[in-house]
Structure 1
């Protein structure tokens, strides 16, 4: 039933995002349509009861990079609702080719990154940094994939290169419970609570311009601490950074295998 509601809601609301962008001549208007209409429908269909804390750390007037762990497909609509900022997602370039969802992401000006090609990935991050310095906030999932068991996976360093290029604050966000409501690679819905905790901004100017790993560890440590506070599994603080070209896996673990 949930997937039917998702498909129908997407098919109906997608044209509205296009109309909003055309009428206002502002692609960002489509983000508000998604936040106010599409996201609540999907959250209700998924059976999630969302509890959010820390919204005082969200400043719509300040360009910011929002970073969260990733447990479920539901995370996307939940974050649209709980982080009331006209942000853009940084998404895998493969999503560009998904009917309706990909079209929406393109029209709304969300940022696609081709992780498989280094030159294109760097160009995408440079473009994103320019957009952020121009006043646009972005949202990303540095694990690069959804966690199978709810633990916080190692982070890719690329997103933090973006943060250091843009020199804007990073706000760590922890989501807990969405993986139980809608597990990865499953439409087996189990209604329940989902907790979102928004941490205090981390000042990127306190890090050297090339200290991607240091910033990644600092942000991840906050997300792990918040996960534990919310009753989650936290994560291995030593396995902080993912192996090059690999999502959700640290170098030592990969080498050992």
Structure 2
């Protein structure tokens, strides 16, 4: 397709994202105020994520979800390629999700408001005292039965190499005594690169690894195990399913 046509299509897609967000998240906010966060959290999975996938022309493939006991609280740790990682996880995970996010996202219209009301955890990495408090709140949510998602690299990767894992998300799992589930995400960077708004159709794979029991582990050991599991899933049979596969979107 000619460059100008892609530009025009991407402009329409950007408008669609704004409209979908502007319409959907206020409904979720009202639902959260009336019935609590459970159903409101699922609005992102039932409404927002499928529409974003449809608008992008992207397909989601989920692998290994049967490995995870979704009735348990746990921390999902994933590699980070794109902002499209977030709707991909909302669509792939069958239970309400709360994310550990950068503080800057809290000020975004609609998305930030929704995330605050839904009990997402915003970490200010430049403020050690605030970060410690927020990590403590995250551990409390896990003790109350929540499923948390974190991107331990701390930023979106641009080279395809999984960066070193920062310890905050892993420490939350250790403090709460819950398992860590490694999640390998593949294809989001091709659908939506880390910078700009250049959307292209493609297939996104979300692979769930075996949960890691955190009992007795040190944080650095846990970080290494989780990262190695993700790297292994990304390297093994790229483009092919090695465990049971389900087409979701």
2:25 aligned with 1:18: no
Give 1:135 shift. 0.9
Aligned match for 2:224, one of 200, 207, 217:
217
CA distance in 2, matches of 1:43, 1:145: 22
> In 2 relative to 1, CA 150–182 (structure 1 residues): closer, same or farther, beyond 3 Å?
same
Give the structure 1 partner of residue 199 of structure 2.
189
User: Cα deviations across residues 189-239 of structure 1 (Å, max 9, x unaligned)?
Assistant: 2211111110110000041xxx2111100000000000102528xxxxxxx
CA distance in 2, matches of 1:45, 1:121: 36
* Pairing 1:47-66 to 2, within 5 Å after superposition: 47-66=57-76
2:92 aligned with 1:82: yes
SS at match of 1:131: helix
Q: List structure 1 segments (4+ residues) > 6 angstroms apart after TM superposition.
A: none
CA distance in 2, matches of 1:122, 1:230: 39
**Higher RCO (Cα < 8 Å, 6 or more apart):** 2
Give the structure 2 partner of residue 36 of structure 1.
46
Give the structure 2 partner of residue 120 of structure 1.
130
CA distance in 2, matches of 1:48, 1:140: 23
CA contact 1:65–1:137 (8 Å) conserved in 2: yes
Give 1:29 shift. 2.0
Give 1:186 shift. 2.2
CA distance in 1, matches of 2:215, 2:193: 37
CA distance in 1, matches of 2:39, 2:119: 11
CA distance in 2, matches of 1:213, 1:230: 28
TM-score by length of 1: 0.86
CA distance in 2, matches of 1:30, 1:151: 34
> In 2 relative to 1, CA 9–43 (structure 1 residues): closer, same or farther, beyond 3 Å?
same
CA distance in 2, matches of 1:87, 1:189: 25
Q: Compute the RMSD of aligned alpha carbons.
A: 1.2
> In 2 relative to 1, CA 5–39 (structure 1 residues): closer, same or farther, beyond 3 Å?
same
User: Cα deviations across residues 91-110 of structure 1 (Å, max 9, x unaligned)?
Assistant: 11111111111000011111
CA distance in 1, matches of 2:127, 2:162: 26
SS at match of 1:220: helix
* Pairing 1:26-175 to 2, within 5 Å after superposition: 26-175=36-185
CA distance in 2, matches of 1:126, 1:213: 19
**Unpaired runs of 5+ in structure 1?**
233-257
SS at match of 1:28: helix
TM-score by length of 2: 0.88
User: Cα deviations across residues 38-78 of structure 1 (Å, max 9, x unaligned)?
Assistant: 11111222222111100112323100101100111111001
CA distance in 2, matches of 1:230, 1:105: 35
User: Cα deviations across residues 13-59 of structure 1 (Å, max 9, x unaligned)?
Assistant: 011101211221x1222111111001111122222211110011232
**Unpaired runs of 5+ in structure 2?**
1-11, 240-249
Give the structure 1 partner of residue 15 of structure 2.
4
